[in-house]
Amino acid sequence: MQPLENNLKIIEQSPFARIARWVLKSSNVAMVLGKTIHLSGVSKENFLRDTPWVAHELCHVRQFQEHGYLRFLWLYFVESLRVGYYNNKYEVEARLAGTKQTHLVRTQSKNPPAAQV
């Protein structure tokens, strides 16, 4: 498996993300298709500043890598039909990745690395 950073793309003002934004009734959306993060309602610069959100979307990139493009789309779709978007196990895993990143950022800001002499 290749590292997540290889060939990762970010597309601003994506029509796919605009549709997701409309469906989710959200002011901004990031969504992943394969190795591409699609954005709507948020700039690439602002998205990249939000490390928990980036961690969430990178988790979806990894899920695509693990399962394969079409298989993951199918699994995600079936899971959403079965339990809904919020309880979809792939969304739960991605939210957890974002939460872990939030905790890591908070921990690092409270305990900065000691200066080396």
> Model confidence over 34-61: pLDDT tens digits?
999 999 999 999 999 999 999 999 999 9
Could you read off the pLDDT of 16-31 as tens digits, one per residue? 999 999 999 999 999 9
- How far apart CA 116 and CA 34 sit, in angstroms, is 41
Per-residue pLDDT tens over the stretch 58-115: 999 999 999 999 999 999 999 999 999 999 999 999 999 999 888 777 777 676 666 6
What is the reported pLDDT for 4?
A: 54
Query: CA torsion 102→84→68→34, rounded to 10°?
Result: -60
